[in-house]
Structure 1
Amino acid sequence: MRVDFGPGAGFGQHTHPGEEIAYVLEGTLEYQFAGKPPVTLKAGEALFIPAGTPHSAKNVGSGKASELATYIVEKGKQLVVLTK
């Protein structure tokens, strides 16, 4: 699934019931994991996110950013679970 972020835009903290592989197509994205320092990725870089890991993502660049998110989720399960 392609996810596009405008400058400064982000997606709040959430989890997935399965694994996620995020590949940055363009721009610069910062991923935040609970209790850990942020991880910043640029176009061409990828990140593996284990199932159930709370995380958020934000475009920290001045232009548009996009990621290709691949999820390994059991059929019929909710893809995104928002957390606080």
Structure 2
Amino acid sequence: MQVDVDFEPDKLFGGHIHAGEEIICVLEGSPEYQIQGKPVTLKAGDVLFIPAVTIHAARNVGDGNAAEFATHVVEKGKPLLPTAE
């Protein structure tokens, strides 16, 4: 599954996990990702790999818009965002 994600300055996507791997390509801006509590700030052209079921969050820490193109590799029939059971 692939998705474009745009976020305004200071927009936060809180901590969550995915059932499969996520590969992010930053298209614009300065998004900061928290991967299991460890921050990493990226810029346009940077790529980030997030392993399956790894807690992560994202925030636009720049002054302008931020955008990413994310590819999710999820086993057929499994939800992208698993829920707690």
Q: TM-score, normalised by structure 1?
A: 0.91
Equivalent pair of 2:18/2:54 in contact (CA under 8 Å)? yes
Residues 8-64 of structure 1, C-alpha deviation per residue, up to 9 Å, x if partnerless?
10200000000000110000100002243x000000000000000000000000000
Moved over 4 A (4+): none
Gaps of 5+ in 1: none
- 1:4 matched to 2:6? The reply is yes
- Which residue number in structure 1 is paired with residue 72 of structure 2? 71
Structure 1 stretch displaced more, 72-81 or 14-23:
72-81
Matches of 2:52 and 2:74 in 1, distance apart? 9
Question: 1:16-31, aligned counterparts within 5 Å?
Answer: 16-31=18-33
Number of residue pairs the alignment of both structures matches:
82
Unaligned runs of 5+ in 2: none
Identity of paired residues, percent? 61
* TM-score, scaled to structure 2: 0.90
